[in-house]
Amino acid sequence: MSEVIAQVPRPSQAQVLTYTSGRMGISAVPGSGKTWTLSRLAANLVSTYPLERDQQVLVVTMSNSAAGNFQKAVRVFLQGADLGTGYRVRTLHGLAVDILSERPGLVGLSDDFQIVPEEEADSILDEALTAWLRTHGGWAHEAYLLPEELQKRYTHGKFADDAPDIVRAFIKQAKDERARPERLRAAVDAIGAGWVLAQMCVSVYEQYERGLRYRGGVDFQDLIALALTALEADPDYLARLRHRWPFVLEDEAQDSSRLQEKMLRLLVGEAGNWVRVGDPNQAIYETFTTADPRFLRDFLKEDGVRALTLPESGRSAPRIIGLANALIQYSEGFADPAVRLRQPLTPPYMQPLAAGNPPDEPDAIRIQPASHEQSSAAEREFVAKDVQTWLTDNPTKTLAILVPSNPYGTEMAALLRDMEIEHLEVLRNSTDTRKVVGAVFRIIRLISEPLDARYLIEVYRVWLRDIPDAPFIDEDIALLRALKRVEDFILPSVLGNDWLEQTVSSFEEPERYERLNAFRSAVARWMRAALLPIDQLVLVIAGDIFRHPADIATAHSLAIHMGGVARSNLSLRLPDFSAELSAIASNAQKFVGIGAEDQQFDPARHPGKAIVMTMHGAKGLEWDRVYLMSVNNYDFPSADAGSSFRSERWYVRDSLSLQAEALAQLKSLLTGADYVEGAATHDDRVKIVAEKLRLLYVGITRAKSSLVITWNTGRESRGTKLTAAAPLPRLYEWAKRMGS
Amino acid sequence: MSISRLTVKQSAIVEAPIASKQFVHGMAGAGKTTAGVRRLRHLLESGVPGHKILVLVPQMGLAGPYLEEIRSPRRKAGASVTVKTLAGLANNTVDLFWPLILKQLGQSEDDVRRPVFLSLELVQYLMDRLLGDVIRQRDFFNSVRIDSARLYSQILDNLNKSALVGFDADTIAERLKSAALPGAEQRNIYDDAQECARIFREFCVRNNLLDFSLQVSLFVDHLWTEPAPRHYLTTRYTHLIVDNLEEDTPAAHHVLREWVPLCTSALLLYDDEAGYRRFLGADPISGATLSALCDTVTDLADSRVMSPHVSALASDLSAALKNQPVTARKSRAKDPPDPRRAITLPPTDENHYHTQMLDWAAHQAARLIENGEAQASDIVMLAPLLNDAMRFTLENALSAHGIATYSLRPSRPLYDEPATRALLTLARLAHPRWVTTPEEQPREFDVIQAVMTVGQIDLPRARLLVSSVLRGGKLTSFDHIPDDDVRERIGYSLNQTLYEPLRRWIEAYQAQNTPDAIHVFFRRLFGEVLSQPAYAFHGNLDAGRTIESVIKAAEQFSRVLGPLLTDADPNHEFVRMVEKGVIADIIMPDAGRKQPDAVLIAPAYTFLLSNNAVDYQFWLSADSPAWGRRLYQPLTQPYVLSQQWTAGMVWTDAMEQATAQEMLHHVITGLLKRCRKGVFFGYSQYDERGYEHLSDLRVSVDYVLRRLNQTTGAQDE
């Protein structure tokens, strides 16, 4: 840690650190040390600005993991000179919760308002949508299905599978526009029978909001809009918060949505102090959230904003930096003017430091040529073998396999498992959440079936999960397996004979005895807690077995989820809850905990292992070697005729993106602008192409020393073969020229 | 309650001439209630007949010391003193003078129907039946997010406020809207709430159903204004003792304002800086104005509770919470008052997690008891909000040290209590006729839980027993269990003392020709079986209170709705209602009964309202924002619906802030005034949710300690 404090700022960082007040915007390239710079700036402000007792420097981030990193970093810089009350680090949504929690009455919330967990919100939406499709499905099919698909039940099923995403996007956007269902209902009724998508979405939106209301809750999307409403509703409250946070430092500003920016802008005020750091080239959430890098770009051009850049990157070898810059150049000269106009990637170019970057290795970059076709199975196999070799040669180095989507990552991880290659699957709703839910599930199952020694053994493994190598564990398990009556072990005092004392001598093996004794006390306690409502039972268990804040938070949201399940079906009992938890733990039932991307994942803690992750999830992280997979014209489409887009479903007429069309209808409802069918689909393509270029850029810049890019022609079963993503030949040529 | 020797001021109050009217105020712990109780004894000993004395308290939980005095063995038998709340008085008087009310309301005095007094549970049931569909069909409350139970309780709260504060129930929405910020989105929901209140009120009036608000407004507006009832009350009670006047409502103050001049003697006791029931309509400012009616006003200023160190902590913390400077005291005394000696903080390595904080608290409490520094009954564990998990974890952590606990909980769903669920399960087992669908069959896990609850049996044995004897929703004989090993594991004695008597009782009950009314069933089950020594409810105060609530609610339900529910079995309907989560009335521990030798676990406000002092207080979850925050209720607003609110004003953030600060100040100083020796300040870096919070309370405590360390350091140098 002392190294972090002692580190001398680079010239561009030093310039940022001269900040004392006003508005400042910083474009920071990957690896430019923006966390270091921003947290140091926060620490400087805390120690130099005469903060009053109730004032704090506010640092706003996009993710919990970033918030955790900032929290730690600022603390280190302050070196204990502050008791931790001079600054506050919050995610944007956490900040919204803070604002609402203090004055919930301003927006019609009660003080124990619940944020309805994502999976519960989804099920409200699904229920409403199913009901709508039951009565109006035929109407929707006629409007959008290809004629030959109209009578096919299979296709109707596909439409029903895809419809939730359309409605979800519509509701998200409507909430971002702060358009309530009543307003949209009036607008859509005025149009009459046309605009089937809008009819569907508005009807579901109405029912969805009713469902949230019935639960006394808000969804994640509501938080920002409601916080903004609260700030607008009461100028005094706003003034008080402005006083409380005289400085607002914002990280990842390229991922802010219009509404989020508006909330911060209001919080900062005309004359406030606001520092925004971001990289428009890393804006990769535009197509599935309402984020837009345009807001940051516009901010950098505003009058009175001091615009700076952090162009030096110490992360990657110079050749990898060169490749990333080559992609920026490719983007600037993009053939399609619509895409070019959207500015997928823009300067500043990345610059290596004068000294300190990893050296160029002879084989630093390997790119699969566009002429070399292979199926997705072959691609996975190639990567797996290559990873195996590399890890054998570099057991102390870090490696990541980055994939465009979770399902592909799951398939890749399965192959690594089969080939016994050490790996870690860091996909959404995977390891950590599943581990937390799994641990709780095993304990609840034991409470449901308290006489089954097999379940007791599984709970013992949960109990010892942090010390799997402790001595005599196998012996303990063998002992428990031989246990004829579970109660002899758990409740010795009740039955008068202490099986444990008779089996493991507290005198001869005190540590082992103590371990088992502590375990049985915990089990006895959980069994007594069987009388509590399920949410409270989960909290009791969580309090006993989790120590990591993210695990506690996941367990808490699991408790809320289970409470909701219990309230919505009064006939459920513990064995039913156990089944629900089992379904969640095995991923059969959706539950999104505080997922991997929200936790402080540190690649450096996993050397010698292959980390499987999505490219989205990898943002902000770095590895010695990085594999970018599936870089084809499906996952990274281009604007040419050959590209296909996930959003344009095969059964929909005229290659329409129904999601884009629904959003266009929403826009027309709100603004009165003309709606021309197909125009939105075209615009959406441009947006997707631009964002995928940025995603590729993010992927490339994760690599420190070496990078492998592969692509595949898709599944064998797929009718048409996919090709390499459009920029790949250009990058291949560049790398070849550089000798890779 | 032990009554120690009186101070000179207290003696003067007690021994004042019989025909005197006194107003006594002072801080909590100054000995006001002691003086009140001794004055009561003095009146009785001076020959004032007990039936002429009325002791008025804002809630019955505060009547304990008076009831203890009245029930004291040294009291001679005879007509007893009346101890009541205003609502209790209203209830009796409305019942007595019902024909007069009918006449006033323009209805026929010959109406044979008596009024029906509704409990909180019944009101919720009725509201759900009356309003559920209206709210859905008319899309009411579409901009608020609260569940229906809370929605109903807030509609009801508004009606109660109108009665207690004394404004027309039809003006609720108008008042709330005029105080809302212009353009505030939720203004329209006040109209919805008004309409719901109107529908409910009309139904009640039409059917002679009287909820709390209607009882109070009928009493205040229709009876108290009439010569006959007023004469009846003022001649019946000529001696008034009113305690905790500051916690009572403008309605009570209004009645007293006209009654005190008419009575022979009055003693009004008023706690400065309290008013914890403000959200229930308490109005300390209106209470204080009654001093003008009295012959004497006495200030009992000094605490008889706080040690000098606690007193110093109270004064410094009070200053810090008011943003005033804190400095070290200059004293030449050998052992000068030092706030730092009245507060104990957890070591930094024991306060990362919520459960660590709870373990630390249990450990510290055990240490105090082991070292003989306090008895269990002189320790309380307080948190601003107390959920089941926290209570359970604390109970277990304390129990691991061999320390017994009991708890006070604010009003909450009856069904959340294991004792209630056990009763309902046993009711289902005893009434197989209720089963019309397989889902209504008693569930195995319910029976397991019921057996655990009533028998205090561990889960494995309860599971073994129930899976062996429950057949087709019926409890069969233990002797029919074929496996000797299973019988042995369950235990023969358990069968004889516990299971078999219960099974036989249910069997005998089923053999009756007609089932009992549900409250009779519960009463018999409890009295004949579950309260017997072999069962867990024997001597269990918490469970006893819960069962009392259930029986009371059931009795009301049978009596009031039984005749109306022609299409359903009211017994079964009651069980269903409780299962749906209706919230119960608060049942405070029997005020006259001595507290058990156990550590009390309670929400801070509930403890404050019980008005007891202890040696040590544990303030847990000290970082929770709930310490100094009013309950936000979107459909109501206690400050706007108070007598002190000036029409036309807008409720601003500054007011919100000022009240929050005032509340935190009141709570903290109120707690300290009820603390003799010290506070244990429990906080953790991460709360139960894994969040990091920082409360004003911690900032203030931190500030006090830092300032004291700085100033002491400077003095040392």
pLDDT of residue B373: 94
User: Mapping DSSP to helix (H, G, I), strand (E, B) and coil, where does residue A701 land?
Assistant: coil
Which among A165, A126, A160, A127 is positioned nearest to A144, based on CA atoms?
A160
Residue of chain A whose Cα is closest to the Cα of B629: A102
Q: Do A105 and B637 touch (CB under 8 A)?
A: yes
Q: Do A530 and B459 touch (CB under 8 A)?
A: yes
SS (H, E, C) B132-184: HHHHHHCCCCCCCECCHHHHHHHHHHHHHHHHHHHCCHHHHHHHHHHHCCCCC
Q: Do B653 and A103 touch (CB under 8 A)?
A: yes
Q: Do B184 and A106 touch (CB under 8 A)?
A: yes
Q: Do B690 and A551 touch (CB under 8 A)?
A: yes
User: Could you give the C-alpha distances from A653 to A144, A633, A645, A737, in angstroms and in order?
Assistant: 6, 21, 14, 44
Q: What is the mean pLDDT of residues B29-55?
A: 93
More confident residue, B88 or B693: B88
- For residue B442, give how far its alpha carbon lies from the nearest alpha carbon of chain A (Å): 10
Asked if A571 is an interface residue toward chain B (Cβ–Cβ < 8 A), one would say yes
Dihedral sign, CA of B537, B542, B546, B548? positive
Which among A554, A364, A342 is positioned nearest to A441, based on CA atoms?
A554
Q: Do A552 and B637 touch (CB under 8 A)?
A: no
Q: Which of B407, B632, B703, B705 to mutate to test the interface with A (most CBs of A within 10 A)?
A: B632
Q: Do B144 and A102 touch (CB under 8 A)?
A: no
- For residue B280, give how far its alpha carbon lies from the nearest alpha carbon of chain A (Å): 17
Residue B369 identity (one-letter amino acid): I
User: Could you give the C-alpha distances from B8 to A711, B14, B23, B298, B304, in angstroms and in order?
Assistant: 94, 10, 16, 12, 13
Asked if A186 is an interface residue toward chain B (Cβ–Cβ < 8 A), one would say no
* Residue A85 with chain B: CB contacts under 8 Å: 694, 699, 702
Asked if A295 is an interface residue toward chain B (Cβ–Cβ < 8 A), one would say no
Distance, CA of A111 to CA of B462 (rounded, Å): 39
Distance, CA of B293 to CA of B296 (rounded, Å): 9
* Residue A113 with chain B: CB contacts under 8 Å: 145-146
Residue count (chain B): 717
Which among A651, A623, A719, A641 is positioned nearest to A682, based on CA atoms?
A641
Q: What fold, for B8-93+226-300?
A: Rossmann fold (3.40.50)
pLDDT of residue A159: 92
- For residue A454, give how far its alpha carbon lies from the nearest alpha carbon of chain B (Å): 14
Distance, CA of B612 to CA of B591 (rounded, Å): 11
Q: Do A549 and B396 touch (CB under 8 A)?
A: no
Percent share of chain B, pLDDT over 70: 94
Tokens of B359: 């373990």
Residue of chain A whose Cα is closest to the Cα of B385: A112
Tokens of A454: 């097999």
pLDDT of residue A596: 39
Residue with tokens 């008791």: A83
Tokens of B477: 């004989």
Residue A252 φ then ψ, to 5°: 50, 45
* Residue A244 with chain B: CB contacts under 8 Å: none
* Residue A524 with chain B: CB contacts under 8 Å: 458
Asked if A575 is an interface residue toward chain B (Cβ–Cβ < 8 A), one would say yes
pLDDT digits (tens, 9 = 90+) for B154-202: 999 999 999 999 999 999 999 999 998 776 666 788 999 999 999 999 9
Residue ranges with strand state E in B49-115: 53-56, 82-84
Domain boundaries, chain B: 8-93+226-300, 115-212, 309-410+592-716, 414-579
User: Mapping DSSP to helix (H, G, I), strand (E, B) and coil, where does residue A365 land?
Assistant: strand
More confident residue, B591 or A481: A481
Which among B259, B290, B278 is positioned nearest to B161, based on CA atoms?
B278
pLDDT of residue A434: 75
Asked if A568 is an interface residue toward chain B (Cβ–Cβ < 8 A), one would say no
- Structural class in CATH, domain A431-594: mainly alpha
User: Mapping DSSP to helix (H, G, I), strand (E, B) and coil, where does residue A113 land?
Assistant: coil
Ramachandran category for residue A304: left, alpha or beta (phi over 0 → left; psi -120 to 50 → alpha): left
Q: Is residue B2 over pLDDT 50? A: no
- For residue B633, give how far its alpha carbon lies from the nearest alpha carbon of chain A (Å): 5
Residue with tokens 């409305």: B94
More confident residue, A433 or B125: B125
Tokens of A729: 């030949």
Residue of chain A whose Cα is closest to the Cα of B576: A570
Distance, CA of B459 to CA of A444 (rounded, Å): 13
- For residue B128, give how far its alpha carbon lies from the nearest alpha carbon of chain A (Å): 14
Q: Which residue ranges of chain A lie beneath pLDDT 70?
A: 1-6, 79-85, 117, 119, 288, 427-432, 493-497, 549-550, 587-600, 641-642, 715-719, 740
pTM of the model: 0.75
CB-nearest to A108 from B143, B453, B689 is B143
pLDDT of residue B1: 41
User: Could you give the C-alpha distances from A119 to A125, A269, B221, B388, B479, in angstroms and in order?
Assistant: 10, 36, 53, 25, 49
Q: Do A234 and B652 touch (CB under 8 A)?
A: yes
User: Could you give the C-alpha distances from B491 to B456, B457, B499, B507, in angstroms and in order?
Assistant: 14, 11, 10, 22
pLDDT of residue A80: 56
Q: Which of A89, A115, A213 to mutate to test the interface with B (most CBs of B within 10 A)?
A: A213
Burial B116-148 (b: 16+ CB within 10 A, else e): bbbbbbbbbbbbbebbeeebeeeebbbbbbbbb
- For residue A366, give how far its alpha carbon lies from the nearest alpha carbon of chain B (Å): 43
The answer to whether B8-93+226-300 and B309-410+592-716 have equal CATH topology is: yes
Which among B405, B375, B399, B369 is positioned nearest to B598, based on CA atoms?
B405
Residue of chain A whose Cα is closest to the Cα of B439: A571
pLDDT of residue A452: 92
pLDDT of residue B269: 96
pLDDT of residue A15: 95
* Residue B652 with chain A: CB contacts under 8 Å: 234, 236
Q: Do A525 and B396 touch (CB under 8 A)?
A: yes
- For residue B664, give how far its alpha carbon lies from the nearest alpha carbon of chain A (Å): 14
Rg, Å, chain A Cα set: 28
Q: Do A543 and B186 touch (CB under 8 A)?
A: no
CB-nearest to B145 from A109, A544, A575 is A109
Asked if A452 is an interface residue toward chain B (Cβ–Cβ < 8 A), one would say no
Right CATH for B309-410+592-716 from 3.40.50.1860, 3.40.50.970, 3.40.50.300, 3.40.50.150:
3.40.50.300
CB-nearest to A556 from B446, B458, B689 is B689
DSSP label of B219: I
pLDDT digits (tens, 9 = 90+) for B87-113: 999 999 999 999 888 888 777 766 667
Q: Name, of A627-631, A636-640, B130-134, B328-332, the range with top average pLDDT.
A: A627-631
* Residue B354 with chain A: CB contacts under 8 Å: 543, 552
Q: Do A240 and B186 touch (CB under 8 A)?
A: no
Q: Do B145 and A85 touch (CB under 8 A)?
A: no
- Structural class in CATH, domain A2-105+223-310: alpha beta
SS (H, E, C) A402-456: EECCHHHHHHHHHHHHHCCCCEEECCCCCHHHHHHHHHHHHHHHHHHCCCCHHHH
Distance, CA of B370 to CA of A210 (rounded, Å): 56
Alpha-helical segments (H) within A419-572? 431-448, 453-463, 473-481, 486-490, 492-495, 499-503, 510-528, 534-545, 549-568
* Residue B401 with chain A: CB contacts under 8 Å: none
Distance, CA of B626 to CA of B697 (rounded, Å): 10
pLDDT of residue A38: 94
Q: Is residue B531 over pLDDT 80? A: yes
Count of beta carbons in the 10 Å neighbourhood of residue B677: 20
Residue ranges with strand state E in B346-404: 379-383
Asked if A517 is an interface residue toward chain B (Cβ–Cβ < 8 A), one would say no
Residue with tokens 């003034």: A239
Asked if A464 is an interface residue toward chain B (Cβ–Cβ < 8 A), one would say no
Task: Note the CATH architecture for domain A365-428+599-648+678-737.
Answer: 3-Layer(aba) Sandwich (3.40)
Q: Do A209 and B460 touch (CB under 8 A)?
A: no
Tell me how many residue pairs between chain A and chain B have CB atoms under 8 A apart.
179
Asked if A497 is an interface residue toward chain B (Cβ–Cβ < 8 A), one would say no
Q: What is the mean pLDDT of residues B61-78?
A: 80
The H or E element that residue A250 is part of is strand A247-250
Asked if A233 is an interface residue toward chain B (Cβ–Cβ < 8 A), one would say yes
pLDDT digits (tens, 9 = 90+) for A243-291: 999 999 999 999 888 899 999 999 999 989 999 999 999 988 877 677 8
Burial A588-618 (b: 16+ CB within 10 A, else e): ebebbbbbbbbbbbebeebeebbbbbbbbbb
Q: Which of residues 125-184 of A touch B (CB under 8 A)?
A: 180, 182
pLDDT digits (tens, 9 = 90+) for B663-674: 899 999 999 999
Residue of chain A whose Cα is closest to the Cα of B460: A450
Residue count (chain A): 740
End-to-end CA distance of chain A: 36
DSSP of B253-315? HHHHHHHGGGSSEEEEEEETT--TTGGGT--HHHHHGGGGGSSEEEEE-S-SS--HHHHHHHH
Q: Is residue B568 over pLDDT 50? A: yes
Going by DSSP bridges, is the β-strand pair A247-250/A273-278 parallel, antiparallel, or unpaired? Answer: parallel
Percent share of chain B, pLDDT over 90: 51
Q: Do A491 and B458 touch (CB under 8 A)?
A: yes
Dihedral sign, CA of B497, B498, B499, B500? positive
CB-nearest to B632 from A105, A235, A524 is A105
